[in-house]
Amino acid sequence: MKALILLTTLLSCSPLYAAQLELPQGSTSRIWQTEELLGQAQTITVKDDVSYKRDMTYRAVPMAVLLQGLKADDHLQAIALDGFAAEMSAAPLLNRQGAQAWLAVEDPRQPWPALADGKPSAGPFYLVWSNPQAGHVSPEQWPFQIAAIKRLAPVAERFPALRPDPKLASNDPVNKGFALFQKNCLACHRLNGAGDAQVGPDLNLPYNPTEYFAAGYLKRYIRDPQSLRHWPQAKMPAFAPAVLPDAELDQLLAYLKHMAKRKIATPL
């Protein structure tokens, strides 16, 4: 009995287990172990971390180093343990100047703090940014608890139900809004049942938010969700003008309003 109690105590005090992460590289992929990544990591300080809401210090590796062999126009998807699925172009992840992407690696011997009471940390892997304002980096481009990063076909190819009317010009505000939807919304939401996210509600079925929000309130909700729906467990972040300027917010709403007339139920 004493031995069992001692073993239980040791396990409860032991550090987190190391993890592994598969990343695309060239025409193939590579599986990285925590210790391998920590061996290449450097210490960085992230100002106003999106998830922790304060300055944080991490051991991290530049994504440009880890994604060797990728092209700027490659399309990637970062999948989190909770079903969050961030769609992003490889281009900003390959930057070595301006807004720079890093893979923060949680050391099992020095675990990160919990994101909130009763919540786990942002580990084992977390995509963070230095100088994010230089690239208008969205909160959705900070996926934490990353389980995998995959190279996939672009969103419009994988999910035709998301596409606006093909008759629209490429520079139409609706098409610009579609690009913004992919960057800022698709990580959490589906639309017409299309998408890989498992976090938020569908934004077109059965109703589009442009159909039930009074004038001005949808903009206010996107800017500060808690100002309209105060909910302690809410996950939707606020999209400040520095991240989503007013002109881009108008384009995003133009896409949503357009898609309210293009409801197509996609089988799950």
pLDDT band at 233 (very low <50, low <70, confident <90, very high): low
Cis peptide before 160 (omega within 30 of 0): no
CATH of domain 156-259: 2.60.40.420
CATH of domain 16-152: 3.90.420.10
pLDDT computed for residue 234 by the predictor: 67
pLDDT band at 117 (very low <50, low <70, confident <90, very high): confident
Q: Is a pLDDT exceeding 50 seen at residue 26?
A: yes
Residue-wise pLDDT for 179-219, tens only, equals 999 999 998 899 999 999 888 899 999 999 999 998 789 99
pLDDT band at 10 (very low <50, low <70, confident <90, very high): very low
pLDDT band at 13 (very low <50, low <70, confident <90, very high): very low
Rg (CA), the chain: 20
Where exactly does CATH 3.90.420.10 map onto the chain?
16-152
The number of beta carbons lying within 10 Å of the beta carbon of residue 243 is 20
HEC per residue, 94-109: CCCCCCEEEEEECECC
Q: Are 75 and 89 in contact (CB under 8 A)?
A: yes
pLDDT computed for residue 268 by the predictor: 60
Which has more confidence, 46 or 200? 46
Taking the model in full, what pTM does it have?
A: 0.82
Where exactly does CATH 2.60.40.420 map onto the chain?
156-259
User: How many Å apart are CA 122 and CA 128, to the nearest integer?
Assistant: 11
What length is written for the chain? 268
Residue-wise pLDDT for 83-111, tens only, equals 889 999 999 999 999 999 999 999 999 99
pLDDT computed for residue 57 by the predictor: 98
